[in-house]
Structure 1
Amino acid sequence: MARLFMLLLSIVMTSLAGIGVVAVLAMGFYDWKSILIAAAIGAALAVPATWLVARQLA
């Protein structure tokens, strides 16, 4: 299950961080701090989401 988790994590983390960055840019926040915070929040949310998905698939 660890290999499945790591494989899914690379995909989900990239997707959620990208969604966060796009959302921040769409709101008009163009400073680096806002972009980095949005990417970090997306990456942090990816870990439990991936764990739930990997548990359901395994």
Structure 2
Amino acid sequence: MLRLAAVLYILVASAVGGAAVIAVLSLDMREGWQIAAAFVAGLVISIPIAAILGKKIYNALQGPKPV
């Protein structure tokens, strides 16, 4: 599951970090530290998102559990 979450992190982090940068730029914050802080915040927020998605996908691939 960790490898799946790591691959998902690459995809999720780029999307969330990019969205955060676009949000900062749309608020007319154009200083370098503001853009970098938004991107870093997006990277940090992506960690639990990738972990949750990885766990859900891993569990779905395992199939139903016998009773």
Q: How high is the TM-score relative to the length of structure 1?
A: 0.96
Report what 1:56 is aligned to. Answer: 56
1:42 lines up with 2:24 in the alignment: no
Report what 1:32 is aligned to. Answer: 32
**Count of residue correspondences:** 58
Q: How far did 1:2 drift?
A: 1.4
> How many angstroms apart in 2 are the aligned matches of 1:34 and 1:13?
18
Structure (1 or 2) with the larger CA radius of gyration: 2
Structure 2 runs not aligned, ≥5 long: 59-67
Residue 11 of structure 1 aligns to a residue whose secondary structure is: helix
1:18 lines up with 2:18 in the alignment: yes
Q: What fraction of aligned residue pairs are identical, expressed as a percent?
A: 24
> How many angstroms apart in 1 are the aligned matches of 2:33 and 2:9?
24
Q: CA RMSD in A?
A: 0.5
